Amino acid sequence: ATDASPAEDISADDIFIAVKTTKKFHQSRLNLLLDTWISRNMQQTYIFTDGEDEELKKKVGSHAINTNCSAAHSRQALSCKMAVEYDKFIESGKKWFCHVDDDNYVNTRTLVKLLSHYPHTQDMYIGKPSLDRPIEATERLGDNKMRPVNFWFATGGAGFCVSRGLALKMSPWASGGHFMNTAEKIRLPDDCTIGYIIESVLGVPLTRSNFFHSHLENLQQVSRSELHKQVRCERMSVRRFTVRIELNYLSELIGKGCLFLSRICLFQITLSYGMFENKRNIINMKGAFPVEEDPSRFKSVHCLLYPDTPWCPLQVAY
């Protein structure tokens, strides 16, 4: 984790970020993302939805993509969207494909730093495993034959990334109409199908990252102090940093998943929010806005990362 030399010098423009949404969430979820992290990453973000929306078109133009997939929450509808995301990425020529849901905040600065660790021409599949063991599925081989398969997959709801090199190899199972057929073979959701193609068919292992977060985990544990350290660290050179901070604090930061790259200490890449057992599952932070005004905490996170945002309070205490 202390290796300071990136494998490849990439910028945010080399990343294709696909946001999966549905028309009924344009107001309640997507607008929050457009006001926060997407506003700073318009060029690399593409929104995959299932209905026409003139307001959305006005805001992002051709970056709003109507997949014409069904607006149902069915396996088929979700696979249909993932298939379009994949095809658009291939068409884009960009180096990295990253998928997120419409309840994810993406810190693109940390995302760029993480991906800089790996050459995009190699086979890379990076994300947070959905389960603590490989999923056990049944592959339909035709002729009514079946075969058990085990593989790891990254939770779509935490976001995951695939290198261009690997994405090109996925083509026979993922491009055009193939993705839907592949998904039908194992009858599992879209993110599982990605894991199946990569791990089971192509034999490429998932690279685990603890920097991706979904609302399936307890988000309270992604503490305010970590976010706050991230912002402070981003402003400190390692020189000043090592002079001012003792060694055990440094190793504590590394232990918590801090990457020291290019003189910058980095933390979380994606965040999420949701409900768990009738309680809000959100990251724990004081931030610029109270929970009532900012129930997802995304506005507060955004003001920490981009304090020059016009609607952020002038003085953010951190």
DSSP sequence for 230-270: HHHHHTS-HHHHHHHS-HHHHHHHHHTT-EEETTEEE--SE
Task: Summarize as ranges the residues that interact with ligand UDP (CB under 6 A).
Answer: 20-22, 25, 71-73, 78, 81, 101-103, 157
DSSP sequence for 16-53: EEEEE--GGGIIIIIHHHHHTGGGG-GGGEEEEESS--
The answer to the question of whether 263 is labelled as a binding residue is no
Q: Nearest-CA neighbor of 283 among 247, 206, 230?
A: 230
Could you say which DSSP state residue 102 is in? T
Name the binder of 102 from Mn ion, ligand UDP, none, CB < 5-8 A by kind.
ligand UDP
Nearest to Mn ion of 129, 157 (CB atom): 157
191 in catalytic set: yes
Task: Provide the minimum distance between the beta carbon of 168 and ligand UDP in the complex, in angstroms, as a whole number.
Answer: 25
Q: Nearest-CA neighbor of 140 among 196, 64, 94, 87?
A: 196
Stretch that binds Mn ion, among 22-30, 31-39, 99-107, 128-136 (CB under 5 A): 99-107
| Three-state SS at 308 | coil
The answer to the question of whether 215 is labelled as a binding residue is yes
**Under the phi-then-psi rule, with left for phi > 0, alpha for psi from -120 to 50, and beta for the rest, what region is 98?**
beta
Nearest to ligand UDP of 219, 253 (CB atom): 219
The answer to the question of whether 40 is labelled as a binding residue is no
Task: Provide the minimum distance between the beta carbon of 314 and ligand UDP in the complex, in angstroms, as a whole number.
Answer: 33
The answer to the question of whether 132 is labelled as a binding residue is no
Which parts are annotated binding residues? Answer: 29, 102-103, 215
Which parts are annotated binding residues for substrate? Answer: 29, 102
Residues annotated as catalytic (active site), given as ranges: 191
Query: Applying CB under 5 A, which residues contact Mn ion?
Result: 103, 157
